[in-house]
């Protein structure tokens, strides 16, 4: 649809000329002019009506009719809508610290799943020995007395280096 692509290009051009000075190149806001980012839950139609009647601030006659519609569509699709925000800034994956017991359980589960031995369901504790990887694996606490400030105890996992299914 060439008309849609042309309208999107027009909307972007109009946005850069009339809106970006106050709202930023990507709708992020401009300190001292319009600090907030452009995002919300208005429908495209409501955004068109608002821009047609009120924007740019102080000179709303500069962006009316088809221009207001084109710039509204650009704003909505580029950064205003929920979908645009999710596309522009995907959710972060947060990592969490594990307690020593949780860490030992995770490592034991991984090692048991790699070994293919599902018969031994063990609650991993420091000192647990896991067999079945062409060698023994031991999970044990470090007892050197040098504790890190954010940990009570550090866990050491020693195991043979595994490439594919064979221990080296």
Query: Checking DSSP bridges between strand 166-167 and strand 162-163, what pairing results, if any?
Result: antiparallel
Spatial separation of the C-alpha atoms in residues 160 and 137, rounded to whole Å: 7
Spatial separation of the C-alpha atoms in residues 126 and 140, rounded to whole Å: 4
In tens, the pLDDT along 8-43 reads 679 999 999 999 999 999 999 999 999 999 989 999
Residues 110 and 137 in one domain: yes
DSSP state of 61: G
Residues 50 and 30 in one domain: yes
Whole-number pLDDT of residue 7? 61
Mean pLDDT across the stretch 97-114?
78
Whole-number pLDDT of residue 89? 84
Give the total number of structural domains in the chain: 2
Residues 84 and 112 in one domain: no
Alpha helices for 55-165 (secondary structure H) = 66-75, 82-88, 100-115
């Amino acid at each position: 649809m060439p008309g849609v692509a042309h309208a999107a290009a027009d909307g972007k051009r109009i946005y850069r000329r009339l809106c970006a000075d106050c709202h930023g190149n990507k709708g992020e806001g401009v300190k001292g002019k319009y600090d907030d980012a452009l995002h919300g839950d208005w429908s495209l139609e409501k955004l068109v009506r608002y821009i047609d009647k009120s924007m740019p601030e102080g000179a709303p006659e500069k962006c009316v009719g088809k221009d207001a519609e084109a710039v509204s569509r650009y704003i909505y699709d580029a950064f205003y809508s929920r979908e645009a925000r999710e596309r522009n800034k995907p959710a972060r994956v947060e990592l969490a610290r594990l307690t020593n017991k949780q860490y030992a359980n995770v490592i034991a589960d991984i090692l048991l799943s790699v070994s293919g031995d599902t018969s031994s369901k063990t609650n991993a504790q420091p000192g647990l020995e896991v067999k079945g990887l062409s060698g023994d694996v031991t999970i044990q606490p470090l007892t050197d007395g040098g504790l890190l400030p954010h940990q009570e105890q550090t866990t050491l996992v020693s195991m043979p280096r595994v490439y594919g299914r064979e221990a080296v």
